[in-house]
Every structure is written in structure tokens, then in C-alpha cells.
Chains A and B, each alone.
Chain A
Amino acid sequence: MPFIFSGGLPEQKAASYNKPIEKLPPPPVAVLPVAGRPAVRAGDYVTAGQRIGEARHNIPVHTPVSGRVAAVEQRRRCTGEASLCVVVENDRKNALCPAVRAPLNPESLPPEETVTLLREAGLTGLDPLGVRGKAQAVLIDGCESEPYLTCRRRLLLERPGAVLGGARILARLFGVDRVHIACGDRDAAGLLQQKIRQDKAPAVADVPYTRRAGYSHDSCAVFGAADAAAMYDAVCLGKPLTHRVVTVSGSGVVEPKNLLCPVGTPIRFLLDACGGVQPKTFKILTGGPMTGHAQTDLDVPIEKNTPAVLAFCKDEERTAAHPACIRCGRCRVVCPEKLEPFLLLQYAEQPDILKDMGILRCTECGMCSYVCPGRLNLTQSFQTGKQRVKKGGGKT
């Protein structure tokens, strides 16, 4: 089935568009959420890259910094829930863990071992590996998913070799000739194409540089560009996933930047590195503006899937004292799942009807709330609606 992406939001990327990735100064502390029992205890000395426990779905967690474990305690995560966290005090020696392996040549490695290696490196976003053998195509998503974000563009521009290296690994794993790299950015697409041409080995990827990506395969495995680069790091450089590129932007940030920062860095250090925030800032987010989480506590850490830290000034607050549906129908037009948010809202209290109307297809992309002139919190009400339907009733 062919997919066409079109339309979209004002991109708002100018502030950090051309800012090269900067290394964040080593933070004094790293907070690493773990699920279940951590492998270390308070007082232990850990080295950079050492495995300290597992996150959900048994994904290993490695510490990005070396130092003493100050505490293993409940802390708030950026999603708002509390979780057991390992707090590592950075001794700034950056002592490398002996377990961090020597680099390997991916061509000599059997696929099964590569998969184990990727899992051991703590990569997230490996779900598409589940369709290995069945997927007819592999797509590396190099498009930014939300406004303000520029971290994928910068990654593609500054580490094209790593992304292409990841593409090579994926091509081998899935047994396909070509991996498609979808790229919404002209500069990055041009650079990648140039790299592919210069490469002596046969091309592993093609880069359609169009704002409208169209692909028509029955089963397509999709990986993020950062996943591909992390695969390259894990297999060819032997590094576990401990750092990521985060865009720090928004009207409230004094000097927007793209930062390479250790996973587990509390967001206040990212804001510090960007000159702090404007005094009239009213909202600070982790994640993109459409699906991110508003934070009131700046000690929550960056996680592996946090693409951005955004701050917005008061004058961008657009709420209404009296949110009301004026029946303009804009929510219906923008819904990518062809749902009818105005009707879903009307029946928000009746799970049976919500289910019939297909509320479970809602991806919570936030577009309906974005366009609503009456400033209704549509997406939020569908989140609760979906939970209600999934619980199976709660009939009124």
C-alpha cells in the first residue's frame, strides 16, 4: 500500500538549523532509570560504558560517565512517572569500562551475533528487527518528526558515515540489496548521496530527497537515523548507546543549540549550556512540541528517546478561558487516521460509541488540538478515552 506524507506544520527549525552538534560539558551527575534490580549498589565505583541494569523490555542500561554511585532511589522521569534510578556522580575521569569491546568488522559477523550485539549495546527502537526475514524493505527515517527538532538533520550532516555504516549492517541483517534513507532535508540528502558515490563498496542505500516520501512495500521495517548511527557505533566502534543528540530550542532558550549529551543528564544542565532561559518562560518540555512532556522539575534526566528540550515564552501560550467547539471541522481535515475528533469529543463519556468510531486508531499526534480554534484539549481527551475503551467498558 502506498503512503504519501504531505501537509504539515510550520517547522520552526531556524533557531537551531545551522548549529553544529556541540558536546555538552560533562554533567556532575547522571540519573539512569532502571526497571527491576540494578546491577550496582550505592557506593560502587562504575566506569563509563559499564552495564548497571536493565530498562523495560530487558534493554541494558550503561552509564555514560565514570564515578561513584551516589544513590539508587525513586526519582521522577520525564514521562512524569517515578522509577528506580541509579544516580552516578561524575568524577570526570571518564575511565572507560574494560568490558567495552574492541571494534568488530560487521562483514565477518554472523547475523544472529550482530543482533545479540545490538541488544547488548542497549539500543532502543529495535522492534522492527522482529520482522526480519519477512520485511521486503528497510527504511531509515531521516526526517524530523516534529517542529523545532533539528537533531536528525545535524546527525545526518555530521555523521553521514555512521548512518551509512548502520545502513550496511541493516542491509546485511535483512538480506536486502538497498536500504532506503528517507530524507526531508536537501543538504543532508545531497551529502549522503555524495558519500554513497564516493564509497568504493557497492551502494547500500538510496536517498530520495523529497518532502513527500512515498514507499509501497507490504512490509517495511523502519529505523530512525539515530538508531542506524548507534548500530554503527555498537558494531564497528564497540560503543554502547550512552549519548544522544538533543535539540535545545524554543523561544524561551537564550541560545538554541544541538547538543551531544550523555543519556541521564538532568535537563537543567542542557539549559545551562544554552545560556539558560528567558525570565518569561512558562513551559519547559522534554521531547517535541506535539508529543513531548511538560516539566516542572528540571532535575529529570534525558533518556534515550528524548529528541529535544524546548522552552516557550509566555506570549506563545494559546489557551482559552472557555474552550468551546465552534464546529469548524478543522480537526477532521488534519486527522491522519481520518477520525472525526468533533464527534469523538461529543461522545467522550461513552466508550462503546468511541470504540465504534475507531478511537483506538488515534495515534495521539496532537494535530487536532493544534488546529482547534476553540482551544479544546482534544488529544488529551482521546488519551483518556482510549484508556477507557481498553479497560473494556467503565460503562456509565
Chain B
Amino acid sequence: MNYNDLKLTASAAPHIRTRSGTRQLMGEVLTALLPALGFAVFNFGIRALANVLISAGGCCVFELLYRAICKKDITAGDLSAAVTGVLIAFTCPVTTPYELLLLGDFFAIVLIKQLWGGIGKNLLNPALAARALLLFWSGKMSVTVGPRTSVPLWGVPDAVTSPTPMSLLRQNDLAGLQELYGLPEMLAGLTGGAVGEVCTLLLLLGGVYLIVRRVISWRIPVCYLGTAAVLLFLFPRGNAPADWMLYNLLGGGLVLAAFFMAADYATSPIRPACQMIYGAGCGALTVLFRYIAPGNEGICIAVLLMNLTARPLDLYLRPGGLKMLKKDLQELPSKPGEIKKQFSGRLKKQP
């Protein structure tokens, strides 16, 4: 046989690779979010779907444009931008104007993700960072509708703002909340709130799916929810600790954050012990900020703060890490000139 027509590749071992690449993993995350999206459409009408599609599309387009303008390889096909987009839409109320969603998309993809070097290099979770930015438009972002309300595709319905579980919990009005929604309604998501955060049951289902499919490990979500539950039970507002804990766990997107935000690959630690510390830290800070922060942004700020600890935890909390920490601390620049020198050196290293 003549083998001359073959175009043979020479490369280093290994020569086989697993089927599941970044795209497949992100596809699994999207699959896990689908049930909650379905429920959102049932609860808030077709506008919920429009929000999610526009936000996901926006993220992909921004990623595509940025990388095309910078003449880099196009990575929008790996679906990680789509996951970010879906999560941004999930954390916003259904009445959020489209332009605000797109602003969040731009902030998340270009400023938070791509400027830091693209997928895997961002220090902050893009979706949560975008949500934090949108807090500046709190007037438009706090128009919330009750359950089973169909919102028109364009414009904001007048005077439909209804209390969400979170807003009532913030006023320590547990009794009022219990009167409005029972625990089954909280679990099923028949409440007001952001698009994707209401249906705790389906989010749990999605989270368990991710753990069973080995996309994420159980450590971060379990430690997150566990720590939050214990602290809420130990330091309740009011005199019904069990109810206070359950309503807090089921409301305000805690489950969404635990499975889909805190466990995000790029911004969480990799070593198992670090993951547990990180999860516990997320839980503790979330409870703290729910108690002391002025708005509804407890989870958002807590997870963003913990994001910053992910890489140091991985690097220094291991055998030999302490030595490295000492060395790195000695090499910290002390004068502005040195900082500039180090920074420009680092910029050059980026491929």
C-alpha cells in the first residue's frame, strides 16, 4: 500500500484524549440550569426566556468581538461565555431592562474575564462581578413581580413591585413571609425574586446532576450550605431558629450561588482541603453580609471576596507552601518603581 498521501502528525504523547473538553463540561452546566430556566418561564412568562437568551447571546458576542479585535483565537465556542450569560440573567429580576443585562455582559466578559487573560485566568466570577456592578442601578433592579406573573417582552409593568422573600427577611419580617409563602412554595419557587433563583428544588436537582456527572465536586456546595445553615440556626433573628434558617436557605439564590457560582472552576480552589475551607468561608461571609449589608447583595459580595482567596489557598496551603509564602512575601515590591517593573515583566510573559 502507498502511504505517501497520508498527512501524518507528529506530536508528543499521550496520543489519545478524553472526549469531555471544556465545551462538553460547559454544556453539562447549561443542561443543569435548564430545569430552573423552564420553571422561570412558567413563573414569569416568556420574558424570562428572552432575558436569558439575550444575556447569553450578548456574552458570546462580546467574547467573539474582543478576541477578534485583539486577533486572538476565537474561544466563544467553548460555551463558557454562554454559562456566564445565563447566570447573569438568572441573578437579575425578570423586569431588568435588556440594556442593563448587556452592560453586565460587557463588564463580565471584557473587563473581568478577557482582560485577565481569558478562560481560567479571571480572579473574580464574571457573573457575580456583573451582578455587583448592576447594584448601582438598584432602582431599576429592584422592580420585582410576584409569582405566576407574565411580564411583557418590552417595558416595565407599572406598580407590580411585590415583596420578595429576601426583602421580607431583610426587614426581619419572618412572620410576614410565612404568611405570604409557606415552605413548600419556597422550595418549589412559587415566589417573587430573580429569574433563576426562585426554584430551589430544580436548582438542587441541577446541582446534584453536576456532582453525579463529576463536573463539580460536592465539597464547595455542601460546605457552603452547611456552614450557612449552622450559622443561621445559631444566630437567628427572631425566636424561630429552624424556620429562620430554612427560609434563608431557600430564598435569595443561596442554592444557585452554592452550586453554580461558588463552585465555578476558575475562581475556586482545586485542592480538596482548600475547597472545604473556601466553601465554609463563603457560607460564613454570606450570613455575615446578610446581617450587616444594606441591600440584598450578601451572597454576591461574600463569594467575590472568597474568589480572591482561591489561588493563595491552593498555592500556600500545601506541603512546602509555607516556604513559598515566606519567599513570595520577601519578594513583594515595596516601592512604586518596583511594582511597575514587576507588572511590566508579567505583561510580557503573557502569551
Contacts and interface: CB of A to CB of B under 8 A. Distances in A.
A324 B5 CA distance: 33
Given A271-B1, A271-B3, A327-B266, A373 B318 contact: no
Contacts of A366: 13-14
Contact of B15 (A277, A285, A327): A285
A377 B12 contact: yes
A324 B78 CA distance: 11
A295 B8 contact: yes
B320 A294 contact: no
A375 B217 CA distance: 21
Contact of B13 (A290, A342, A372, A374): A290
A325 B120 contact: yes
How many B residues touch the partner, as a band?
35 or more
A184 interface: no
Given A318-B21, A328-B25, A383 B1 contact: no
A318 B14 contact: no
B17 A283 contact: no
B266 A326 contact: yes
How many A residues touch the partner, as a band?
35 or more
Could you say which of B3, B14, B18 has the most chain A C-beta atoms within 10 Å of its C-beta? B14
A282 interface: yes
B270 A342 contact: yes
A357 B318 CA distance: 10
A350 to B, nearest CB: 11
Given A272-B1, A277-B3, A322-B72, A294 B9 contact: yes
Contacts of A374: 21-22, 119-120
A372 to B, nearest CB: 8
Contacts of B73: 321-322
Contacts of A147: 16
A379 interface: yes
B75 interface: yes
Contacts of B121: 324
B17 A369 contact: yes
A171 to B, nearest CB: 35
A283 B8 contact: yes
Interface string B5-36: 11111111111111111101100000000000
Contacts of A74: none
B297 interface: no
Interface string A294-323: 111010000000000010100011111110
Given A271-B3, A296-B8, A332 B16 contact: no
B271 interface: yes
B25 A383 contact: no
Nearest to B119: A324
B263 to A, nearest CB: 11
A289 B16 contact: yes
A364 B120 contact: no
Given A277-B3, A324-B119, A356-B320, A284 B14 contact: no
B21 A281 contact: no
Interface in B110-128: 118-121
Given A326-B119, A353-B324, A370 B16 contact: yes
Interface string A1-38: 00000000100000000000000000000000000000
A291 B6 contact: no
Contacts of B20: 373
B265 A326 contact: yes
Contacts of B8: 281-284, 294-296
Nearest to B73: A322
A279 interface: yes
Contacts of B11: 283, 294
A292 B270 contact: no
B119 A295 contact: no
Given A271-B1, A271-B3, A373 B22 contact: yes
A369 B271 CA distance: 18
B201 to A, nearest CB: 27
B120 A318 contact: no
Nearest to A252: B6
10 contacts: A268-B3, A282-B8, A283-B15, A289-B13, A291-B13, A294-B8, A320-B21, A329-B265, A366-B14, A373-B22
Interface of A: 9, 147, 268, 271-272, 276-277, 279, 281-285, 289-296, 298, 310, 312, 316-322, 324-329, 332, 340, 342-343, 353, 356-357, 364, 366-367, 369-375, 377, 379-380, 383
